[in-house]
């Protein structure tokens, strides 16, 4: 039997954080979690857009329990500030959906000196998860869902040039960031298992879903090239992309399905993982390389200064 959002169980009393929830997949994810009774914090870079997203969700789900908080994943200071506010609240965190991302940007670096896509898509979410770990471990059955992409298949991890100082390619850099997301999710599960921590870490991908990513990142190049890239994204969205409501389903499946195992990669199961029922799907060999995953985890701790203190619950 095919899974759908109607199969999401009631989430009353559960608390979730969804990054990049002001539009696209993140907004759809936040909306469906709120529909089932979860209290959802929309972690967004632009709080005015976040407020509009809250209004939109509230019209669709009257009485939805929502909050908006500032989070810029490209700035570790912002990640730390967001996490500090969450920690000060003290409430256990049942679900973290690492959804926000940027795609195929021209060469840029974050204020911390990391290549923009690697720094935002991977390192920002890595640091966020590590800093929120105390709240996750305080929940009864915490989950972390990190959104990857089928484009992980073009990604490689070059530990000698993680910041693309030698030869930058926007799509290759995007692929690396998405492969990093997948490897992080799997290594987090491996380390939680080794520590005896009942945390489920999963990854998901939407297939090819219509969002602003296909136009905003490529369009940053400016000039004729930027306009052409953005135009190509709009054409692709119009002709072959699925709706964002469908693209959010893999994240929602990973976040709520009672039987999905930790470490699973969830996405569309047909037509080269672009259509059809949602469920666990295979990655390529690079997405299963646990030696690289372990090393990337260690390197990410060094780069961000965030260490994961996975401790089993007392007793």
Q: To 10 degrees, the CA torsion angle through 193, 152, 267, 76?
A: 60
Q: Report d(CA 280, CA 269) in Å as an integer.
A: 8
The conformation of residue 121, written as its DSSP 8-state character, comes to I
Strands, E, within the chain: which ranges?
15-19, 39-44, 65-70, 95-98, 143-147, 200-204, 265-270, 275-280
Q: Report d(CA 277, CA 256) in Å as an integer.
A: 16
**Vertex 253: Cα angle to 136 and 84 (nearest 5):** 25
Handedness of CA 100, 74, 72, 83 (dihedral sign): positive
Is 253 annotated as catalytic?
Answer: no
Q: To 10 degrees, the CA torsion angle through 128, 133, 135, 140?
A: 130
Q: For 63-115, where are the alpha helices, taking DSSP H only?
A: 76-89
Q: Which of 168, 174, 208, 253 is catalytic?
A: 174
Beta-ladder partners of 143: 95, 200
Q: How many CB atoms lie within 10 A of CB 120?
A: 23
Q: Report d(CA 120, CA 26) in Å as an integer.
A: 16
The conformation of residue 116, written as its DSSP 8-state character, comes to H
Whole-angstrom Cα Rg for the chain: 18
> How many residues appear in the chain?
315
Catalytic residues: 174
């Amino acid at each position: 039997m095919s899974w759908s959002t109607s199969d999401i169980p009631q989430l009353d009393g559960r608390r979730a954080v969804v990054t990049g929830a002001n539009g696209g997949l993140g907004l759809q994810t936040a909306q469906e979690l709120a529909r089932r009774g979860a209290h959802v914090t929309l972690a967004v870079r632009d709080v005015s857009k976040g407020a509009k997203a809250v209004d939109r969700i509230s019209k669709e789900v009257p009485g939805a329990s929502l909050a908006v908080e500032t989070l810029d994943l490209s700035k570790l200071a912002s990640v730390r500030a967001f996490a500090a506010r969450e920690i000060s609240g003290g409430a256990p965190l049942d679900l973290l959906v690492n959804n926000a991302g940027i795609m195929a940007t021209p060469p840029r670096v974050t204020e911390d000196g990391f290549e923009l896509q690697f720094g935002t898509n991977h390192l920002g979410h890595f640091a966020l998860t590590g800093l929120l770990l105390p709240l996750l471990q305080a929940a009864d059955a915490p989950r972390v869902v990190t959104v990857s992409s089928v484009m992980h298949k073009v990604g490689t991890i070059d530990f000698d040039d993680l910041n693309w100082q030698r030869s930058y390619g926007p799509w290759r850099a995007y692929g690396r960031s998405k492969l990093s997301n997948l490897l992080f999710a799997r290594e987090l599960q491996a380390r939680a298992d080794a520590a005896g921590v009942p945390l489920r870490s999963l990854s998901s991908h939407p297939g090819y879903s219509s969002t602003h990513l296909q136009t905003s990142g490529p369009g940053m190049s400016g000039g004729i090239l930027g306009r052409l890239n953005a135009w190509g994204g709009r054409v692709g969205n119009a002709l072959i992309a699925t709706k964002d409501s469908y693209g959010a389903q893999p994240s929602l499946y990973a976040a709520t399905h009672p039987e999905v195992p930790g470490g699973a990669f969830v996405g569309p199961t047909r037509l080269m993982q672009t259509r059809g029922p949602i469920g666990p799907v295979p990655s390529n060999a690079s997405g299963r390389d646990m030696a690289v995953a372990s090393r990337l985890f260690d390197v990410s701790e060094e780069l961000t200064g965030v260490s994961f203190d996975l401790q089993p619950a007392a007793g």
